[in-house]
């Protein structure tokens, strides 16, 4: 199995490299010029030429790309083209900021999506099922940034006014002076909620159809014939079978999650990976952008590998094989 995992990981690397080349060329060709930005409003051509030389931007693109990649592989990712800050630190700090947001959102979304999906699938066509269908459509059509602003308005300003609180309970921006679990909760509750809405909408529909398909299987009829309670039939036999496909979808969505993170961090002013990406794009800062892409790419690849392994663990019929089927 580990051979299979390794092979899958290696197969993703060329795609990642190709994407990084394309982005590098695009940002350099179409994006902002860091040298011009550093020289400020003066636009002094002498300054621009000098800074370009200092930053090494006067070399050809292939040379610059190879240099960046060499940096990345050695683990010393150099400094930002915009601010001279260490890229390792920038990305490390941003990851620490994004990790709890992504983790809690995925966990919460999984819990709710499984609950909604299973409830709907057990009684297809019921009022509850129809309600969840409508809600899922609403969640899918909901523009995340607008939802974020609405949530801030409702849970900070309106809530404070209505309940006559001295300060809002939930924070719409990170609170740098606070610490502890309660502070984290007040900080994370709203962004996690906003990021989860679309995940829940997509995953719950998926869980629903996967379980409905599963419940048509012979093993379900056998389980019922054995006289198991319906609850046991659904969770032990039905859900377990449908979970394999949910795992796959969640892993595929790991890439899509990034888009949501970018918007959510922007709305809630959180200095995470999304904010870092927006800043790097604004500044044409390829020294940050390339390591950013590679780190995120590796995380996405790992998520997919984890899903493969989990898939095999959940479904003994699946064997992860290398080469020809045996």
Residues that bind another protein (CB under 8 A): 15, 18-19, 22-23, 26-27, 29-32, 124-125, 129-130, 133-134, 136-138, 140-146, 149-150, 152-153, 156-157, 172, 198, 201-202, 205-206, 208-210, 212-213, 216, 245, 249, 252-253, 255-260, 262-263, 266, 277-278, 281-282, 284, 289, 293
Q: How far is the CB of 324 from another protein (least distance, A)?
A: 23
Residue 101 or 277 having the CB closest to another protein: 277
Tell me phi and psi for residue 42, to 5 degrees.
-65, -35
State both tokens at 307.
Answer: 């899903």
> Cβ of residue 271: shortest distance to another protein, in angstroms?
16
Could you give the CA distance from residue 312 to residue 321 in angstroms, rounded to a whole number?
A: 11
In the complex, the smallest distance separating the C-beta of residue 22 from another protein, rounded to whole angstroms, is: 5
d(CA 172, CA 189): 9
Residue number, 1 or 10, with CB nearest to another protein:
10
Please give the full DSSP string across 174-226, using - where no structure is assigned.
--TT--HHHHHHHHHHHHHHHHHHHHHHHHHHHHHHHHHHHHTSHHHHHHHHT
- Closer to another protein at the Cβ: 17 or 313? 17
Q: Which is nearer to another protein, 114 or 201 (CB)?
A: 201
Contacts (Cβ under 8 Å, ≥6 apart) of 1: 309, 312, 320
CB of 309 to another protein, least distance (A): 21
- Shortest distance, CB of residue 195 to another protein, whole angstroms? 10
Contact 228, 238 (CB under 8 A): no
Nearest to 247 by CA among 184, 291, 311, 188: 311
Smallest gap from residue 2 Cβ to another protein (A): 26
Residue 79's beta-bridge partner residues? Answer: 86
């Amino acid at each position: 199995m580990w051979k299979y995992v390794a092979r899958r990981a290696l197969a993703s690397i060329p795609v990642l490299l190709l994407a990084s080349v394309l982005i590098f060329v695009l940002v350099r060709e179409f994006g902002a010029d860091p040298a011009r930005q550093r020289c400020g409003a003066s636009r002094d051509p002498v300054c621009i030429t000098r800074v370009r030389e200092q930053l090494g931007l006067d070399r050809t693109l292939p040379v610059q790309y190879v240099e960046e990649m060499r940096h990345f592989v050695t683990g010393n990712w150099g400094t930002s083209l915009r601010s001279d800050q260490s890229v390792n630190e920038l990305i490390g700090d941003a990851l620490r900021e994004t990790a709890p947001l992504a983790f809690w959102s995925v966990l919460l979304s999984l819990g709710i999506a499984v609950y909604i999906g299973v409830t709907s699938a057990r009684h297809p066509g019921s009022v509850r099922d129809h309600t969840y269908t409508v809600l899922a459509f609403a969640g899918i059509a909901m523009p995340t940034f607008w939802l974020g602003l609405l949530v801030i308005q409702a849970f900070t300003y309106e809530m404070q006014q209505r309940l006559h609180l001295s300060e809002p309970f939930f924070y719409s921006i990170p609170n740098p002076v606070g610490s502890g679990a309660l502070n984290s909760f007040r900080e994370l509750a709203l962004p996690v909620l906003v990021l989860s809405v679309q995940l829940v909408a997509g995953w719950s529909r998926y869980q629903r159809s996967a379980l409905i398909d599963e419940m048509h299987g012979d093993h379900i009829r056998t389980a019922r014939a054995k006289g198991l309670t319906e609850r046991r039939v659904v969770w032990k036999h039905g859900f377990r079978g449908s979970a394999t496909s949910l795992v796959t979808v969640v892993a595929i969505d790991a890439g899509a999650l990034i888009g949501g993170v970018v918007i959510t961090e922007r709305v809630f002013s959180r200095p995470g990976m999304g904010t870092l990406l927006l800043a790097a794009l604004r500044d044409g800062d390829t020294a940050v952008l390339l390591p950013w892409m590679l780190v995120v790419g590796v995380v996405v690849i790992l998520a997919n590998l984890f899903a493969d392994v989990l898939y095999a663990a959940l479904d003994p019929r699946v064997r992860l094989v290398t080469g020809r089927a045996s």
